[in-house]
Every structure is written in C-alpha cells, then in structure tokens.
Amino acid sequence: MVQRETCPPHKRKEVEAKEDSSDVSRKNREQGEMWGIMTGNQSPVSKKRSSSSSDPPTGNLIEFGGEPSTSKASTWDSTRDAKPKDPEEPEGGGEKSEFRCCLLEELNRVPGCAMHLGPLSFSDQHTVLVNVAELNNVGRIKAQGGQNMWDGHFVKMPYAVESTVTKTVFLLTEKQQRWETIRKHLGSLAKSKSVTPLEVEKAIKKYNPKYEGLWTFDGLHHFFKVLHDSEKPTYSRTLSRIAELALGCLIAAKRTFRCSDVGRAEYCNYPTINFQSLFAKWSDRKEQKFRAIFHYFQVVTEESTVPRGLVTFSRCHMSPFTDWRSCTALLPKLYITSEGLIEKDGQGMLQVDFACNMVGGGVLGNGLVQEEILFLINPELIVARLFTEKLGDNDCLKITGSQQYSKYTGYSDKFQWTGPHEDKTPRDEWQRRHRQIVAIDALHLKYPKEQYNVRNVCRELNKAYCGFKGEDDTHPDYYPAIATGNWGCGAFGGDPKLKALIQLMAAAEARRDVAYFTFGDKHLQMEILRMHNFLKTNGITVGRLYKSLEGFCEEIRIHEKQPSDLYSFIRSYLEKHKSKN
C-alpha cells in the first residue's frame, strides 16, 4: 500500500510500553557506570550497599557532590534559577549542578500515544492498493483493481502491454510481450519442487536477452556451495516458491523490473532495483544477506506464517526552515546510552534510517552498515527502491508498518544473520505494524571540514526537521519520541558531536523527545550527555545554540582550522554571549 497520511487525531489510547527485566537491569548497570565516569569514583550509593545491590536505583537524578536523589525524573523546568556550571569542573563546595538522563520509559511510544486513524480512505495524496470497503467493513485485505499506466509518473510494470522484449527469429528481429516470456519461464520454475541456481540464471536471462553476456550469477551459485547439505533442499524449494510469488508480488517480482529495452536514463534518478547486483560477485557479506532475504521468502511463502497486513510509504517534502536563529524552543528530553539498538530499544518510536539519498544504499550490493542492515531485517523496506526517486535536500521517506523478520549481530564485515525474529508488534486500525521508520540522508562529505559551514549546518537541520516533523502541529502529545544515533557519521564523514546537536535542535523544533544510541561509544555518550545537561541547565534555546554554531563556523572560516573542541567552544561562546536575544 502506498499512501500519504492526512488523518486528524482523536482520543489517545492508554497502552503502556513495558520493558523486560533484562532491560531494567542493563539500565541500572549503565547508570552506575555513568556515575563512575562523571565522578571518577564508585557510586556513593554502592558504597553503602552490599555487592549484590551496588547499582543506583533506576531513574535517579544524579547530583555532583552528593548522592543520587530518589525523585523520579520529570520534565525540565527551564525557568528555574540555576547557576551555570560546567559538569566537567571538579566539585568544590559550590552550588550543585544536576546530571540528567531521562528514563527510556518516559519517552512517548506507539501504540501508547497513537492517534485514532478513522476509516481508511482514498484521497489525492493517498493512494491505496487494497479494497478499502473490505478492510474497513470486515478487516479483510484484498487487492484493489487498477489501470495500467505507462509514463514517467508511474512505475512501469512488466505485465503492461507496452512492456516488450526484442528477439531475433530467423535473422529477423521482432518485439514480443515481456510478460508472456516471464510467465513462461517463471511458471516452469514454480512447478518444480526443487530449483537450482543455474535454472534461475537461465530463466532470468531468457526474458532479459540483452544482458545475457553481461550479468553473472556467481554470488548465488557460491552461496549454494557453502550451504550445508541439510540446508540445500529448503533453499531450493524456496527458489521455486519465489518464482511462484514473483508472478504477482511486488518484492519478489523486482527481479523482472527495469531490465529491458526501457532506457536506463529514465531511471538514473532512482535506486537500482534488480537483484542481479546481489546475485553477482561473491563476498562473505553476501552469504549473510542471502540468509536474511531467503528467510523472508521462506516466511511469506508458508501459509501458516504469511503476514497479513499493510505498509505505508510516504514521501514528505518541506520548504526550508530558514529562521533557526530565532527559534525559541528548548532542547527536548534525552535518553542516551552506549548499549542497545534503535530497532529494539527504540521500538514504538520514530526510528531513524541513516539513509543514502538513493534509499536502501547498497542493500542489493555489498553495502552492510546501518541502512542496509535495517533493510535486510525488514525486507519490505526494499520495495521502496522501486518508486522512491532520489531524495532532495528537503525530502524524507517515512515507512509505516514494516515487519522485522530476522535477528542479527555485528556490523559491516562482522554482521551475522542469527535467525528468525518473531515480530509481536501490534497493528493499528489500518493493519500496519506500529513501527515507523524515517529515511533521512546526511551530507556525504569529501572533507570533514566541509560540515563546519553555516550553509551545510542549515542543510542538515532542515533535513532532520523534515524527517522529525509531525503531521499535526496542534497535537504534539501524540508524537512518539525519536530513536536515533550517529547519523551521517562513519563513511559519510560527519562529526558525531555536531550531528547529535543538530538532531536535538531539529527534534526540539518538531516537539519530540530523543532516545540516542551511540553504539558502544561510552565516551561519546558522556560528551553528549554533559553538553545536553549544560544547555538544559542554562535554558539555552535552539536559536542561541544555532548562533554558537555560526560562531564556530566563522572561527574556522577565518583561521582555516578548527579552533577547539566543538563543545568547549559552545560553552565558552554562550558564556560570553549571555544575552537571551
């Protein structure tokens, strides 16, 4: 289902998101570690306890120079009188500065904060590919009939009459209906109970004769070689079921799209959609990718496990937000941890996909970082590549309702598919999983210095704000928090400390709180937390923080080098420019 949502909010559902005991234990342990990092000592609470209960209670407010308070964390009151103090300074009898990290369970999640959607309906901005009456009246999902279109505004499907393939017969060339050729060869595979990779290769090349000498399938062949003998029958049977599914299902049939006489230039602004790039050159990474994708097809082709729900894809565009200097919003609540995962601990939140501007990045190639992993464990996301044009500077893609099928460990070369995931996420009234993912692409920097430029800072702020902004500004209480991390860092060259501030600023303007995952980097966790504490304690608005970033960029422009640590500069700048205007 492809749509844009325009439904008004109604009554809030009272459903609480629960955490298991292992999550609580982990957060208790982590808060104890944070105390040690901040003070250089063991937690004062732990000194008074036996070794079996050495962690400070979950949710305590930790104060410098004193024991953690037992008061439950609550929303900041930025109007209270607080003497500015750098949390990194040693204690010396002055006024206490509060160390603040909100609880994960304080943050909004769906379905707890979900809006009542009302009946599913068509609109100018909402294309629905299922029978609306069947869904609204009896909850049954049935395909909606439609009309084939063959122009640049629609995806050109292989079964359209305009889709042809040129063949040579007795030295004469003629055009034949592509779908007839596809149906013939995939139908043959579907009838077989056991299909080999060689049969798949031959079939695909039959309806893509133009690429017969160009496409290689050594990756797929090698995958079947490394399989244990006991696994091969299952995977061969799955190939047959994929062929059967491909005759009528978008994600499986993708291997037949955009691969013939239609000019490649027509699709140059879209991500590659063919699985051929995955089937080609072998690598160890591809073994794990094949396992994840084959598992997805094993699930959806078994009658007992086939999912019965809908997914929404919404491309959102926003005019540039140009008045960041005047923003009066205060930073949101922040939960930050070096442990945990966005898709696990951020369940029910708006989860950020650190996207490429061609959504999905290298998921069908050799790429295997955050976005590719996200698309592998939620393969329904891959279908977005079929109809999502390259994202512009003020665009994002929001995907609601996808299901997680796989578990994994590791990252990049250490990524390992570890088995099936049973997704128990509840569904909304439109039969979508309560999971929303937003794809926002950061700048891909050639030189790290490029990011310390006001124009580029604004670009990233606008991009993040486009992704974080809710549908209805009058009901921010319904907005789930944002689950994110080191967006645009790593291969894209971003400074994690700058990107964290940019996301916090955009979230503040969008009126959402933030859960931030540093993926094992405890030092970064504490750096961001200290900075957030400093800004909150001093009631620094987004506008004032933006001006300090302007100052940092100006220093670099003048001196042609980074003047100091970003966070140290911000503290110094704000101390010198205490005016609230």
Structure confidence by residue, pLDDT tens digits, 504-516: 999 999 999 999 9
Residue 226 three-state SS = helix
What pLDDT, on a 0 to 100 scale, did the predictor assign at position 54?
A: 35
Strands 98-99 and 164-169: unpaired
Give, for 345, the enclosing helix (H) or strand (E).
helix 342-345
Domain ranges across the chain:
142-300
pLDDT tens, position by position, 66-82: 233 332 332 333 333 33
What CA–CA distance (Å, rounded) separates 151 from 552? Answer: 48
Give the containing element (helix H, strand E) for 168: strand 164-169
pLDDT in tens, 524-533: 999 999 999 9
pLDDT tens digits, 14-67: 333 333 445 544 554 554 444 344 433 333 333 333 333 333 333 332 222 223
Active site residue 5: no
Q: Is the pLDDT of residue 438 over 90?
A: yes
CB atoms within 10 A of CB 393: 14
Distance CA 242, CA 203 (A): 13
CB 7 within 8 A of CB 118: yes
Spatial distance between the Cα atoms of 97 and 5, rounded to a whole number of angstroms: 44
Pick the catalytic residue from 30, 55, 353, 460.
Answer: 353
Q: Which two tokens stand for residue 163?
A: 């889709």
Pick 280 or 260 by higher pLDDT: 280
Contact 439, 298 (CB under 8 A): no
Nearest to 526 by CA among 35, 177, 81, 126: 35
Alpha-carbon span 184 to 207, nearest angstrom: 9
Q: Measured between alpha carbons, how far is 90 from 339 in angstroms, rounded to an integer?
A: 27
Give me the pLDDT at residue 49, please: 32
Rounded to an integer, what distance in angstroms lies between the CA atom of residue 556 and that of residue 244? 59
Average pLDDT, the chain: 82
Which of these is catalytic: 55, 371, 441, 495? 371
Residue 367: predicted pLDDT: 96
At residue 174, the pLDDT reads: 82
Instruction: Provide mean pLDDT across the span 393-412.
Output: 97
Kindly indicate the confidence band of residue 268, based on its pLDDT and cuts at 50, 70 and 90. Answer: confident
Considering the chain, what percentage of its residues have pLDDT values greater than 90?
Answer: 63
What does the pLDDT read at residue 169? 73
Per the model's pLDDT, the better-predicted residue between 561 and 398 turns out to be 398
d(CA 317, CA 307): 31
513 labelled catalytic: no
Cβ-contact 292, 480 below 8 angstroms: no
* pLDDT reading at 2 higher than 60: no
pTM of the model: 0.82
User: What is the CA 581 to chain-centroid distance, rounded?
Assistant: 36
| Of 2 and 549, more confident | 549
Token pair, residue 152, equals: 């640049």
Q: Does residue 112 carry a pLDDT above 90?
A: yes
> Sorting pLDDT into bands at 50, 70 and 90, what band is 259?
very low
Of 483 and 577, the one with more pLDDT: 483
Helix axes 284-300, 218-226, angle to 10 degrees: 80
The predicted structure's pLDDT at residue 100: 67
Q: Which of 372, 380, 495, 513 is catalytic?
A: 372
| Whole-number pLDDT of residue 115 | 87
What is the predicted pLDDT for the residue at 47?
33
pLDDT class of 10 with cuts at 50, 70, 90: very low
357 Cα distance to chain centroid: 13
Of 554, 541, 478, 535, give the one whose Cα is nearest residue 512.
478
Question: Average pLDDT for residues 341-364, to the nearest whole number?
Answer: 97
Percent of the chain with pLDDT over 70: 79
User: Residue 353 catalytic?
Assistant: yes
C-alpha dist (Å) from residue 19 to 105, 173, 275:
8, 65, 38
Confidence of residue 421 (pLDDT cuts 50, 70, 90): very high
Mind listing the pLDDT tens digit for each residue in 114-158?
Answer: 988 999 998 888 889 899 999 999 999 998 877 778 887 777 888
Six token digits for residue 191: 């009838």
The predicted pLDDT at position 67 comes to: 30
